[in-house]
A and B are shown apart, each in its own frame.
Chain A
Amino acid sequence: MAAVFQGLGAATAFSVSNSLDSRKFLVSSRKSLSARKASFPVVRSDGSVVPRSNARVRRAEQLITNAVATKPDSSAASTTSKPGHELLLFEALREGLEEEMDRDPHVCVMGEDVGHYGGSYKVTKGLADKYGDLRVLDTPIAENSFTGMGIGAAMTGLRPIIEGMNMGFLLLAFNQISNNCGMLHYTSGGQFKIPVVIRGPGGVGRQLGAEHSQRLESYFQSIPGIQMVACSTPYNAKGLMKAAIRSENPVILFEHVLLYNLKERIPDEEYICSLEEAEMVRPGEHVTILTYSRMRYHVMQAAKTLVNKGYDPEVIDIRSLKPFDLYTIGNSVKKTHRVLIVEECMRTGGIGASLTAAITENFHDYLDAPIVCLSSQDVPTPYAGTLEEWTVVQPAQIVTAVEKLCQ
């Protein structure tokens, strides 16, 4: 289990900047390597959208004003005057974790370097000091066994959060995640529950190489009995973390290495998010863009351009990768009749492929055009910056795809 610390270096750079200039991100990502490293702006999905009044009633109450999602372009100064508190995404995860550990002594954390080291991305920083080494357990580097241990602990009454130091390492625990986490509740005839949360940093980072740039959601999605969610903002990171811990089902929570240092103001009062619901990021009329995790920000970059070009895209962060929120997705399809899926997942057997199938099955009659799915290339994520950039979907591709789709 090798280096996963690049994100940490980036973290410092990230948090310093409070820039909201999404264009800068877009531009910077195309700059030379050195330029990219020098400026690591905070990525925000600031889509310059004012919340609309025609948001569906049912969802309205769940759509607690999300700073990232619905806040109009604003400076840092204006956000500071709002209630709530501002923190980075990894701090939001930590806050959710800490609140749940305070609430329920059965909640515990286990994984590599989660304790004294504070987690490779500092999500568990300081928790070992507060709760002790047994509740925040540093494990040996033995993914299959400590994951199985978490499952055994869950079967006997605890609620462990199992951290994969890098999501890719969980391939070594695939057997435990599939056979025991996913199936044991069923094979035991419902006698044993597995209320575990499996979480960790994944996705394509900055030149981390193929093994550290995996998107395991495509591998895990066909395991029965498991729910999968992907967080994308500090607000939903905290809310989903808390919901996942409280769920009686095993939940895999995907975090993205490049999103840990997103900054957002979140409510002071307690809240949780629904594990099953998608998040309306930007209501629109012309086309439905379904996305999740980091690609949400590429989509919002593109949305800005599209709006300038006269398009009105509806952007939905599906959040629940399994099962899909067919209500939110379906209502959007019925409204726009056009669907673009943007994912970082692999093209073959990815989330986008499943989503395409689900939409075709359920809402085929409402579609005016074939669904377009932009996924990563089916190649091992290359190390070289240029190649890596061409592997994942870029905002310009999204703009082009929408233009074609809306012709």
Chain B
Amino acid sequence: MSFATTKFAHHIPLSTTAARSNDHKPFLDPFKATPFLGSTHKFRFHPLTNSNHTNNHRRSAVVAVSDVLKAKKPKSTSNLLITKEEGLELYEDMVLGRAFEDMCAQMYYRGKMFGFVHLYNGQEAVSTGFIKLLKKEDCVASTYRDHVHALSKGVPARAVMSELFGKTTGCCRGQGGSMHMFSSEHNVLGGFAFIGEGIPVATGAAFSSKYRREVLKEADCDHVTVAFFGDGTCNNGQFFECLNMAALWKLPIVFVVENNLWAIGMSHLRATSDPEIWKKGPAFGMPGVHIDGMDVLKVREVAKEAIGRARRGEGPTLVECETYRFRGHSLADPDELRDPAEKAHYATRDPITALKKYLIENNLVSEPELKAIEKKIDEVVEEAVEFADESPHPGRSQLLENVFADPKGFGIGPDGRYRCEDPKFTEGTAHV
């Protein structure tokens, strides 16, 4: 463990400014020494074609918050990465994610929710950076750390909170829970509690988009699917299998790795032969990008490109976002393993603080405007808790609903009638 943390610490040149190299390098260069974990300045978007032009263009298009600040550029609006409206939207979404998760922790300790609850604190820039660029028809597949993906995609906070409380007004009627958030209305495909199992489902959704366009001739179907998963998943077969299939069939999907450096207690560096996950993109014939996942503007810039590629039918992209979770793996994790210095370091890189700083220093928004958002979000979250608390627990009658889409699946009873016609099935008292 000391090995991992030491090595890690060596790789934190965060305060150093390294000018991004614009000279083109071939995307497959295994011997190239690259500062990796902890680097804030590395952005590589390796197109499959060796085009200097494209590469330079892409590189120059992306500027990190930190770089902008360090360069102390004169604050002229023409250089800004986002508009005021976009900035406010991103800020609101990230604050919502943070405030919601903090409230979850409170409610968990108060005994309002149970089971394994995995909080997203610290990683907000990834969810917000990608999902706020999606259309409603676009799909999102998440993991067990899924509350904030659902919120970013538009699922109301009250529906997510109520689900966590196990109430019938929850987005899955209380049948899913923390790790199984779904919304057909907002195309949130889950909510998957096992490592990697959401990636094939996301790949299937992307296949549907292609199928609708090419087989069903729905010319306007340009829907994109974004699959989120962590560094631990990137050593799982389904990850590799789906990279292969998605690239093979040029599916409209973006694979987003939220590399928070830890798979519960397993350091990414101890688990992975080559810790640079983004490199696996080119290995499968798709671009691989490594970005600072604590910087929402950088994430957004890359997301725009990757989603655009998918929408144009140019195929999948693998994006590795280097991020950090501010809390333990779940609320059941005492989080004793991670080095306090490492945690403290990342705490200084809080993505919300960084965005706030950028917005204020560039005179995009005023402090009171941000305060107003924070206040509004506090109210939203409070209201969500009230709503969840007041909502009814599922009744007995709900028990046997939704086992089968067609309840004939319960079969034929001794009396010759379908068992689902028995009132005991509607009452939920039948034994199945």
Q: Which residues of A contact B (CB under 8 A)?
A: 58, 105-106, 108, 132, 134-135, 139-140, 142, 144-158, 175-176, 179-180, 184-195, 224-225, 227, 247-249, 275-277, 320, 322-328, 330, 362-363
New A-B contacts (10) at CB < 8 Å, excluding given A142-B237, A249-B406: A108-B211, A151-B204, A152-B203, A157-B212, A158-B207, A180-B197, A187-B191, A192-B189, A325-B411, A325-B412
Number of A-B contacts (CB under 8 A): 194
Q: Which of B211, B214, B415 has the most CB of A within 10 A?
A: B211
Beta-carbon contact of A152 and B182 below 8 Å: no
B205 contacts the other chain (CB 8 A): yes
Question: How far does the Cβ of B421 sit from chain A's closest Cβ, in whole Å?
Answer: 12
The interface residues of chain A lying within 8 Å CB-to-CB of B242 are: 145, 149
B241 contacts the other chain (CB 8 A): yes
Q: How far is the CA of A153 from the CA of B211 in the complex (A)?
A: 9
Beta-carbon contact of B215 and A149 below 8 Å: no
Knowing A179-B194, A192-B184, say if A151 contacts B200 (CB, 8 Å): yes
Beta-carbon contact of A187 and B203 below 8 Å: no
The interface residues of chain A lying within 8 Å CB-to-CB of B180 are: 187-188
Knowing A149-B203, A175-B197, A180-B201, say if A135 contacts B215 (CB, 8 Å): yes
B294 contacts the other chain (CB 8 A): no
Beta-carbon contact of B412 and A189 below 8 Å: no
Beta-carbon contact of B238 and A148 below 8 Å: yes
Q: Which of A155, A249, A277 has the most CB of B within 10 A?
A: A155
Question: How far does the Cβ of B400 sit from chain A's closest Cβ, in whole Å?
Answer: 10
Beta-carbon contact of B182 and A188 below 8 Å: yes
Q: Give 8 nearest A-B pairs by CB, closest first.
A: A152-B204, A148-B200, A323-B411, A189-B172, A189-B173, A188-B182, A145-B241, A152-B201
Beta-carbon contact of B405 and A185 below 8 Å: yes
CB-contact partner of B205 in A152, A195, A330, under 8 A: A152
The interface residues of chain B lying within 8 Å CB-to-CB of A175 are: 194, 197
Residue of B nearest to A186 (CB): B402
Beta-carbon contact of A248 and B405 below 8 Å: yes
Beta-carbon contact of A327 and B414 below 8 Å: yes
The interface residues of chain A lying within 8 Å CB-to-CB of B238 are: 144-145, 148
The interface residues of chain A lying within 8 Å CB-to-CB of B210 are: 134
19 contacts between A and B (CB under 8 A): A135-B215, A142-B241, A142-B244, A148-B197, A148-B200, A149-B242, A151-B201, A152-B141, A153-B205, A185-B402, A187-B182, A188-B190, A189-B402, A247-B406, A276-B412, A323-B412, A325-B411, A328-B412, A363-B414
B171 contacts the other chain (CB 8 A): yes
Beta-carbon contact of A326 and B203 below 8 Å: no
B residues 151-208 with Cβ under 8 Å of A?
Answer: 170-177, 180, 182-184, 189-194, 197, 199-208
Q: How far is the CA of A320 from the CA of B189 in the complex (A)?
A: 30
Beta-carbon contact of A179 and B403 below 8 Å: no
Beta-carbon contact of B205 and A190 below 8 Å: no
B115 contacts the other chain (CB 8 A): no
Q: How far is the CA of A202 from the CA of B182 in the complex (A)?
A: 34
Q: How far is the CA of A224 from the CA of B400 in the complex (A)?
A: 11
Question: How far does the Cβ of B248 sit from chain A's closest Cβ, in whole Å?
Answer: 7
Question: How far does the Cβ of A46 sit from chain B's closest Cβ, in whole Å?
Answer: 28
Q: Which residues of B contact A (CB under 8 A)?
A: 139, 141, 170-177, 180, 182-184, 189-194, 197, 199-212, 214-216, 237-238, 241-242, 244-245, 248, 401-406, 408-416, 418-419
Q: How far is the CA of A192 from the CA of B189 in the complex (A)?
A: 8
Beta-carbon contact of B207 and A327 below 8 Å: no
CB-contact partner of B416 in A180, A193, A327, under 8 A: A327
Knowing A152-B205, A184-B190, A325-B412, say if A193 contacts B197 (CB, 8 Å): no
The interface residues of chain A lying within 8 Å CB-to-CB of B197 are: 148, 175-176, 179-180
Q: How far is the CA of A149 from the CA of B199 in the complex (A)?
A: 8
Question: How far does the Cβ of B422 sit from chain A's closest Cβ, in whole Å?
Answer: 12
Q: How far is the CA of A227 from the CA of B418 in the complex (A)?
A: 14
CB-contact partner of B207 in A149, A248, A275, A326, under 8 A: A149
Q: Which of B202, B203, B205, B413 has the most CB of A within 10 A?
A: B205
Q: Which of B200, B212, B244 has the most CB of A within 10 A?
A: B200
CB-contact partner of B404 in A134, A147, A249, under 8 A: A249
Question: How far does the Cβ of A372 sit from chain B's closest Cβ, in whole Å?
Answer: 21
CB-contact partner of B204 in A150, A189, A247, under 8 A: A150
Beta-carbon contact of A191 and B216 below 8 Å: no
Beta-carbon contact of A191 and B414 below 8 Å: no
Knowing A105-B215, A152-B202, A320-B411, say if A140 contacts B139 (CB, 8 Å): no
Question: How far does the Cβ of B76 sit from chain A's closest Cβ, in whole Å?
Answer: 44
Beta-carbon contact of A134 and B211 below 8 Å: yes
The interface residues of chain B lying within 8 Å CB-to-CB of A227 are: 404, 409
Q: Which of A106, A140, A153 has the most CB of B within 10 A?
A: A153
Q: How far is the CA of A343 from the CA of B409 in the complex (A)?
A: 22
Question: How far does the Cβ of B178 sit from chain A's closest Cβ, in whole Å?
Answer: 11
The interface residues of chain B lying within 8 Å CB-to-CB of A184 are: 182, 190
Beta-carbon contact of B175 and A187 below 8 Å: yes
The interface residues of chain B lying within 8 Å CB-to-CB of A180 are: 192, 197, 201
Residue of A nearest to B411 (CB): A323
Q: Which of B170, B180, B193 has the most CB of A within 10 A?
A: B180
Beta-carbon contact of A188 and B201 below 8 Å: no
Beta-carbon contact of A134 and B215 below 8 Å: yes
Beta-carbon contact of A225 and B403 below 8 Å: yes
Beta-carbon contact of A155 and B200 below 8 Å: no
CB-contact partner of A249 in B176, B204, B405, under 8 A: B405
CB-contact partner of A144 in B190, B241, B408, under 8 A: B241
Q: How far is the CA of A139 from the CA of B197 in the complex (A)?
A: 18
Knowing A153-B208, A249-B406, A326-B413, say if A188 contacts B203 (CB, 8 Å): no
Q: How far is the CA of A326 from the CA of B414 in the complex (A)?
A: 5
Q: How far is the CA of A154 from the CA of B190 in the complex (A)?
A: 14
The interface residues of chain B lying within 8 Å CB-to-CB of A147 are: 200
The interface residues of chain A lying within 8 Å CB-to-CB of B175 are: 186-189
CB-contact partner of B176 in A134, A157, A189, A325, under 8 A: A189
Beta-carbon contact of A155 and B403 below 8 Å: no
Q: How far is the CA of A132 from the CA of B215 in the complex (A)?
A: 9
Q: Which of A142, A144, A189, A227 has the most CB of B within 10 A?
A: A189
The interface residues of chain B lying within 8 Å CB-to-CB of A132 are: 215
Beta-carbon contact of B200 and A145 below 8 Å: yes
Q: How far is the CA of A327 from the CA of B415 in the complex (A)?
A: 6
Question: How far does the Cβ of A107 sit from chain B's closest Cβ, in whole Å?
Answer: 11
